Structure 1
Amino acid sequence: MKLSKNFGKTQKETPGDAELISHQLLIKSGLIHQVASGIYSYMPIAWRSLKKIENIVRNEIDKAGGQEIRMPVLQPQEIWDLSGRTEIFGPDLFKLSDRRKRKLVMAPTHEEVLTLMVKTHVNTYKDLPLLIYQIQTKFRDETRPRGGLIRVREFDMKDAYSFDISNEGLDQNYNAMITAYENIYNRIGLETIKVEADSGAIGGQASHEFMAVSSIGEDTILKCSKCDYAANSEKAEFVRIKQKTISEKILPLEEIHTPEIKTIESLTKNLSLDPDKMIKTLIYLDSNNQPLAAIIRGDLDVNETKLSNLNDGKDLRLATSEELSNLNIPYGFASPIQLKNIKIIVDTSLNFGNNYIIGSNKEKIPL
């Protein structure tokens, strides 16, 4: 077909909400059409390209022993309630009700449905191992869709599931997927780095991501220059160098009056101390509005992914000043001291040291 007959013309104007150059070019070149925030139509050339990529993916997963099926996007919410993932996915999970008021979800992944299928159709260990996959449209209610096709609310995904007799068999299938992904990226000419990643709401003991390095990327990779360890910032772990036990004499608890000071930065400046002598107490709320206190050294930031994992994978958000007030916690002066009926998680950065400055749960008075 001649290009002049192609459905989807180029555009001169740059879309106002397109922040990334890749997003701008996709729309200006007529490859995609934006229907709503995070929702796009693929025009003919883009659709042909997507189908070619899909066929490469299908070919490599088939070679790894995968069997392709098709499962429904629309699923009863009760099976998600049973697994506990309705709560874990939180607001990212699209929910609706049918005319009979039965609760349904639009599944972003299919562990529940497939596990029930296997329960019905696998009657003996001789039917295992199994490697089942599908290529299907998924849905996720992103808080802020961005980056064109990078973070959207409707997207195509290949998801594979293995059922094994032993951990050794599981490892074998997992490694087969790693090889398949490496072959896929090589065939499409995309250079990637394999890094350890957080498994998030999907769960599992191990997870890896293949990251493409980009100046406009939205994640950070930490890679060791002396070994092959690499992980994204949500998952990265390190061995904390053992510090000498502090011999500083423990001082008595003392209140300090600091009017109009509510941040670590202003407090350290006012007291002429380094931030690592401060303790931050951050109050979070989960999807059920249950509070949690994270305690960490003043010069560090909370890794909210790790914090969520320590709280059974539930989504967390920082409490607002109004919500803090409802908990009788003054904004800027939160403290684990006298904190009642709130789960407290303390970072290992506080394993060494003493005589810290910390909030008192009293307005303008740290300890």
Structure 2
Amino acid sequence: MKQSRTFIPTLREIPTEADITSHQLLMRAGFVRRHMNGVYSYLPLAQKVLRKIENIIREEMEAIDAVEIFLPALQQTELLDQSGCGTSDCPDLFTLTDRQNRTIALGLDHAGVMTTLLRDEVKTYKKLPLTLYQIRTLFKDEKRPRYGLIRLKEYMMTNAYSFHANQESLDDKRNKVINAYATIFSKLGLNVKTVIADAKSIDTKQSLKFMALSEAGEVTIAYSDSSTYAAIMEMAEVKVEDSHQPETLKEMKEVETPNQHTVEEVSAFLGIDQSSVVKTLIFKANDDLVAILLRGDHKINVLKLKKALGTSEVSLATETEIAEVVSCEIGYIGPVKLPLTMKVYADHAVKSVFNGVSGANKSGYHLVNVNVERDFAVDDYMDLRFIQEGDPSPDGYGTIQFATGIDLGFVSDIGSNLSRSMNAVFIDEQGNSNPFIIGCYGLGISRLLAAVAEQYNDTNGLKWPKQLAPYDIHLVTVNVEDETQKQTSEEIYQLLTSYRYSILHDDRLERAGVKFADSDLIGLPMRLTIGKKAADGIIEVKIRSTGETLEWQREEITEKLQAYFG
């Protein structure tokens, strides 16, 4: 393709709205343009990369017997209500009204459509298991579109659903999808971690996410430095460590701590470590107030608290609600002499606090030398805190480190609740009617493009891996008005095209500096420069990934290219 005849609008300056590396470079290199906040146009170079990503996905999905289909973007709101993602409880849903005044939704989730399709067409276990996937544009009324292609209102996705007669079949398919995704990431050249994730509203037995490691990532990952363990922060379990009680439990005393409300203030005032403080938080779980105890240097994980208490409604109690059970300011609440009717739950680490400090349930005062069991009782110990860097890995291997990642996709078990609610059933071997057991899988294609751009770049621009580059080679004619350079470029272009290399030929009437800057910015794997030495049969070569520059004889180009590209 001649660069003068394609559409690659490069930019010298960083766009003001571009706040991460991939966004900046994809805009500057002419891959994308913003139409409005959260909505982008994908220009010719981006389209070529996206098609390669899609082809890799198709190859691996078909290798595990997944069959591609294409579902409608427009969906009946009644169907969404049945599937649990209706207009009343899903603020991310885009809706519109047709000329018959019917409300229609734009596809955000296709679980309901897919389940309806299987309900109407598959009646017997003999047709199971069945895995269907699609690659299409989805729509989400994203509250805060940002980070270029990472958080969008309109985005490209491959999502798949598998339907099974039993859990064993689903487990087998889930493992195959996980392996297929690992192969996809390997082929894309991405550094990705598989992490334990929370399924939130999906009724699942297992949910995993796939995170591309990047400083631009919005999700914090806790991972072991010595094993494959990794989880999003909210889901990372904390390993319970043995605590050893000291020989002497000191006498509990009340001390005055005027205007010292926070753990930081109290520990500094008393000259102690924050880990010696037992902090007491009052939460409202459904309609009951409960006391939650944590070590002073730890933070409450509300998701773990919800799971531990078996409720979806948990919030910090208000000052008015707290005043009904303790007669002190917030900051002086402690576990000693709480109302007998109040349940007290503690994080496991509280067991390790001996002769500690807590609020005295009296404004302006704290207790020192507080000890669990002797001075206060705990109804149950639970894993209630966020894991910290340096903590032992939950799997027993190594210690925990933190990283940030871009959420690329997921695998999750929907189970049978959805099919049961939609009366999607099949007849089993015994002639009984059973609901389908469903697995759900997804990969964000737009995000994959951004993730590759995040991981493959330098200060000069993008550095596309060979398998994803929009073109294999950037052929640059330094002076298109020089007849020797022009003719040499055309001959090499025709030769390499006949060898099935894809070539972007910069034949523009531009200065050499502009051409080289654009070439580095676009980031094709190799640049062949036809300059002054063309008359001597010498081609100047630059390898984009390493910055290495070489000189090749014209006669050896095809041989050396075959060695490089394989």
Q: Same fold (TM over 0.5)?
A: yes
Question: Is this contact kept in 2: 1:192–1:212, CA < 8 A?
Answer: yes
Change (3 A) 1:137 1:49: same
**Is structure 2 residue 301 aligned with structure 1 residue 303?**
yes
Distance 1:228 1:156 in 2: 29
Q: Structure 1 residue 363: deviation in Å?
A: 5.8
AA of the residue aligned to 1:176 = K
* Secondary structure of the corresponding residue to residue 134 of structure 2: strand
Q: Structure 1 residue 57: deviation in Å?
A: 0.8
Change (3 A) 1:140 1:338: farther
Query: What residue number does 1:135 align with?
Result: 135
Distance 2:88 2:245 in 1: 40
**Is structure 2 residue 155 aligned with structure 1 residue 155?**
yes
Question: Is this contact kept in 2: 1:141–1:153, CA < 8 A?
Answer: yes
Change (3 A) 1:248 1:186: same
Q: Structure 1 residue 61: deviation in Å?
A: 0.7
**Is structure 2 residue 175 aligned with structure 1 residue 175?**
yes
Question: Is this contact kept in 2: 1:34–1:41, CA < 8 A?
Answer: yes
Question: Is this contact kept in 2: 1:130–1:163, CA < 8 A?
Answer: yes
* Secondary structure of the corresponding residue to residue 190 of structure 2: coil
Distance 2:207 2:88 in 1: 18
Superposed CA RMSD in Å reads 4.1
Query: What residue number does 2:37 align with?
Result: 37
* Structure 1, unpaired ranges of 5+: none
Distance 2:256 2:218 in 1: 41
Distance 2:253 2:90 in 1: 41
Question: Is this contact kept in 1: 2:32–2:42, CA < 8 A?
Answer: yes
Q: Structure 1 residue 326: deviation in Å?
A: 5.8
Change (3 A) 1:309 1:43: farther
Structure number with higher relative contact order (C-alpha < 8 Å, ≥ 6 residues apart): 2
**Is structure 2 residue 262 aligned with structure 1 residue 263?**
yes
1:90-129 residue pairs with structure 2 within 5 A?
A: 91=91, 93-94=92-93, 96=95, 98=97, 106-129=106-129
Q: Structure 1 residue 249: deviation in Å?
A: 4.2
Question: Is this contact kept in 2: 1:90–1:315, CA < 8 A?
Answer: no
Note the alpha carbon deviations across 1:199-227, whole angstroms, 9 max, x for none: 33344222333333334433344443444
**Is structure 2 residue 322 aligned with structure 1 residue 324?**
no
Deviates more, 1:71-80 or 1:114-123: 71-80
TM-score (norm 1): 0.78
Distance 1:3 1:315 in 2: 58
Change (3 A) 1:206 1:13: same
Distance 1:104 1:314 in 2: 30
Question: Is this contact kept in 1: 2:74–2:105, CA < 8 A?
Answer: yes
Deviates more, 1:121-130 or 1:356-365: 356-365
Change (3 A) 1:279 1:65: same
Note the alpha carbon deviations across 1:100-150, whole angstroms, 9 max, x for none: 887665443332332333222221111211111111222334443332212
* Structure 2, unpaired ranges of 5+: 324-328, 368-566
Change (3 A) 1:17 1:157: same
1:1-367 residue pairs with structure 2 within 5 A?
A: 1-76=1-76, 82=82, 84=84, 91=91, 93-94=92-93, 96=95, 98=97, 106-245=106-245, 249=249, 257-281=256-280, 295-307=293-305, 309=307, 324-325=318-319, 327=321, 332=331, 346-353=346-353, 356-359=356-359
Distance 1:247 1:293 in 2: 29
Change (3 A) 1:66 1:241: same
AA of the residue aligned to 2:67 = Q
Question: Is this contact kept in 2: 1:88–1:313, CA < 8 A?
Answer: no
Change (3 A) 1:328 1:128: same
AA of the residue aligned to 2:167 = N
Q: Structure 1 residue 341: deviation in Å?
A: 11
Query: What residue number does 2:521 align with?
Result: none
Q: Structure 1 residue 23: deviation in Å?
A: 1.2
Change (3 A) 1:306 1:79: farther
* Secondary structure of the corresponding residue to residue 151 of structure 1: coil
Distance 2:106 2:173 in 1: 28
Q: Structure 1 residue 46: deviation in Å?
A: 0.8
Deviates more, 1:230-239 or 1:244-253: 244-253
Question: Is this contact kept in 2: 1:194–1:210, CA < 8 A?
Answer: yes
Deviates more, 1:240-249 or 1:8-17: 240-249
Distance 1:248 1:67 in 2: 68
AA of the residue aligned to 1:264 = V
Q: Structure 1 residue 56: deviation in Å?
A: 1.7
AA of the residue aligned to 1:303 = N
Change (3 A) 1:351 1:107: farther
More strand by share: 2
Q: Structure 1 residue 299: deviation in Å?
A: 0.7
Distance 2:209 2:28 in 1: 30
* Secondary structure of the corresponding residue to residue 260 of structure 1: coil
Change (3 A) 1:165 1:250: farther
Question: Is this contact kept in 2: 1:85–1:201, CA < 8 A?
Answer: no
Question: Is this contact kept in 2: 1:9–1:30, CA < 8 A?
Answer: yes
AA of the residue aligned to 2:277 = M
Distance 2:258 2:102 in 1: 55
AA of the residue aligned to 2:128 = L
Distance 2:107 2:351 in 1: 42
Q: Structure 1 residue 159: deviation in Å?
A: 1.2
Change (3 A) 1:309 1:128: same
AA of the residue aligned to 1:279 = V
Q: Percent identity?
A: 35
Deviates more, 1:76-85 or 1:38-47: 76-85
Question: Is this contact kept in 2: 1:87–1:314, CA < 8 A?
Answer: no
Distance 2:87 2:305 in 1: 16
Question: Which protein is bigger by CA-based radius of gyration?
Answer: 2
Aligned length: 360
Q: Structure 1 residue 72: deviation in Å?
A: 3.5
* Secondary structure of the corresponding residue to residue 204 of structure 1: coil
Distance 1:159 1:243 in 2: 47
Change (3 A) 1:225 1:28: closer
Change (3 A) 1:159 1:40: same
* Secondary structure of the corresponding residue to residue 234 of structure 1: helix
Change (3 A) 1:212 1:247: same
